[in-house]
Amino acid sequence: MSRKSRLLLAPVVLMGALALVGAPAMAAPSSLLTASSMTALRSSPVMAATITIKNYAYSAAPAVAPGAKITIMNQDTVAHTVTSDTAGAFDVTVPAGGSATITAPATAGSYAFHCNFHSNMHGSLVVQPAEAAAPAPAPAPAPAPAPASAPAPAAGAATASYQANLGAINGSNASGSVMVSVSGDQATVTEKVSGLAETFGGKPYPHVQHIHIGAKGTCPAPSADTSGDGVISTTEGVPAYGAIGATLSTSGDTSPAAGTDLAVAGMGSSFTYQRTFTLNADTAASLKAGTAVVVVHGLDPATLPAAAQKEPSDLVPSLPLAATSPALCGTLVASQMTSMPGGAPGTGVVNAAATTSSTGADVGMIAAGGGLLLAAGATFMLRRKTGAKA
Ligand SMILES: [Cu+2]
């Protein structure tokens, strides 16, 4: 990457860290919400309103008239969307630090909305006819729409395992495999990747990685490149793999809020990742439904078409498009393995191959996965030893 890119990286890491610190401040906007809701009850609907996004939360908007213009200001360092739960009512992507507008629906009602990238972000918009005698009901703080059988598995529930073969996207030529073992609400993710972009300004290239959820559970086809720039951006892939359900960070937060924190990304062209964390209900449900997709981001800019090399990232505009675009993708499918490394890998591998795949490629992947688990176990032991010494 160029020196310019390197200069840009430092503030983003810093902001990422700040965002991380700020993320738990989700409680703060609730008093604001109440105040605004009351305003909405007392006043007639307005023709223009502003919704501010800060710390991964939407501010409340006053009741608006049908067709009102609503400006959305995004104060976060990552992009968000304002997408109506009712398909087609409104949908806009708001770049990091930027703004966008939507037009209120013509039909009065309370419209719940969410962020396509961050499944924990919800809000609602009340559209009220100007002559309405009775005020519309106060906008409820929109409980998350309960995904089918959403509750996280009870503690002590039987272990379930999922595996994904990670395939190259955007010509990354990378490859990898992932296993997710779920026990109760704890998920242990073991991953091995290779062939990714190696350095970023002379330092190991940060590859943010996530479990994306809640969409088709597929990896985007080349036709997903709706902008025609030759690169499937993270946003363009969302209809296939969905929003971020969990961040496969190396430390700290594993929620969607940590999604673009480069400081906790996988580093370099090849790495082994293993971490156990508490699985949120949405991600647990998506895993069960077969719609959870692992995506590893970050391309070598030199491999992009010339014009696309100059484009900003759709997620973090201060970074180049290459930095956040998908490089690896794979759908997590249930396997028959019932225990993690330490057991007899041979048995589990055979079972998994027999039940989840019908192609030679998949069998090869799962067999490789068995090897990877052993390798990961060894690496993990080594790290612990090193850590104890320090
Ligand atoms: Cu992602």
Cβ-contact 267, 242 below 8 angstroms: no
Alpha-carbon gap, residue 196 to 299, rounded angstroms: 7
What's the half-sphere exposure (Cβ side, CA atoms, 13 Å) at 368?
Answer: 18
Tokens 């490789």 belong to residue:
368
| Reported confidence tier of residue 147, pLDDT bands at 50, 70, 90 | very low
* Residue 211 β-bridge partners: 246, 294
pLDDT digits (tens, 9 = 90+) for 296-319: 999 999 999 999 999 999 999 999
Alpha-carbon gap, residue 281 to 150, rounded angstroms: 6
- Over residues 1-12, the mean pLDDT reads 42
Q: How far is the CA of 286 from the centre of ligand 1 (A)?
A: 15
Q: How far is the CA of 374 from the centre of ligand 1 (A)?
A: 26
Whether 46 shows a pLDDT value over 70: the answer reads yes
Q: What is the predicted pLDDT for the residue at 370?
A: 29
Q: How far is the CA of 327 from the centre of ligand 1 (A)?
A: 10
What's the half-sphere exposure (Cβ side, CA atoms, 13 Å) at 389?
Answer: 6
Q: How far is the CA of 284 from the centre of ligand 1 (A)?
A: 17
Sign of CA dihedral 213, 280, 204, 385: negative
Q: How far is the CA of 258 from the centre of ligand 1 (A)?
A: 11
Q: How far is the CA of 293 from the centre of ligand 1 (A)?
A: 9
Q: How far is the CA of 245 from the centre of ligand 1 (A)?
A: 9
First vs last Cα of the chain: how many Å apart?
33
DSSP-based helix, strand, coil % in the chain, nearest 5: 30, 30, 40
Query: What does pLDDT average to over the chain?
Result: 75
Alpha-carbon gap, residue 122 to 104, rounded angstroms: 17
Q: How far is the CA of 94 from the centre of ligand 1 (A)?
A: 17
Q: How far is the CA of 209 from the centre of ligand 1 (A)?
A: 5
pLDDT digits (tens, 9 = 90+) for 14-28: 333 333 333 333 333
Q: What is the predicted pLDDT for the residue at 118?
A: 86
Q: How far is the CA of 257 from the centre of ligand 1 (A)?
A: 11
Q: How far is the CA of 330 from the centre of ligand 1 (A)?
A: 11
Q: What is the predicted pLDDT for the residue at 388?
A: 36
| Reported confidence tier of residue 275, pLDDT bands at 50, 70, 90 | very high
Which residues make up the environment of ion ligand 1, defined by Cβ < 5 Å? 210, 295
Q: How far is the CA of 291 from the centre of ligand 1 (A)?
A: 14
Q: How far is the CA of 210 from the centre of ligand 1 (A)?
A: 4
Q: How far is the CA of 183 from the centre of ligand 1 (A)?
A: 23
Q: How far is the CA of 340 from the centre of ligand 1 (A)?
A: 25
Q: How far is the CA of 189 from the centre of ligand 1 (A)?
A: 15
- Over residues 162-176, the mean pLDDT reads 96
Q: How far is the CA of 296 from the centre of ligand 1 (A)?
A: 6
Alpha-carbon gap, residue 322 to 341, rounded angstroms: 35
- Over residues 259-287, the mean pLDDT reads 95
Q: How far is the CA of 377 from the centre of ligand 1 (A)?
A: 25
Q: How far is the CA of 322 from the centre of ligand 1 (A)?
A: 13
* C-alpha distance from residue 124 to each of 142, 195, 202 (Å): 6, 43, 45
pLDDT digits (tens, 9 = 90+) for 217-258: 999 999 999 999 999 999 999 999 999 999 999 999 999 999
Helix (H, G, I), strand (E, B) or coil at 193: strand
Q: How far is the CA of 328 from the centre of ligand 1 (A)?
A: 10
Q: What is the predicted pLDDT for the residue at 340?
A: 41
Q: How far is the CA of 333 from the centre of ligand 1 (A)?
A: 18
Q: How far is the CA of 298 from the centre of ligand 1 (A)?
A: 10
Q: How far is the CA of 110 from the centre of ligand 1 (A)?
A: 30
Q: How far is the CA of 217 from the centre of ligand 1 (A)?
A: 13
Alpha-carbon gap, residue 285 to 246, rounded angstroms: 12
Cβ-contact 218, 241 below 8 angstroms: yes
- What residues contact residue 208 under an 8 Å CB cut-off, 6+ apart? 247, 259, 260, 261, 262, 265, 266, 296, 297, 298, 324
Whether 352 shows a pLDDT value over 50: the answer reads no
pLDDT digits (tens, 9 = 90+) for 50-86: 899 998 899 888 888 899 989 999 888 888 899 999 8
- Over residues 320-325, the mean pLDDT reads 94
Q: What is the predicted pLDDT for the residue at 24?
A: 34
Q: How far is the CA of 115 from the centre of ligand 1 (A)?
A: 14
- Over residues 148-174, the mean pLDDT reads 75
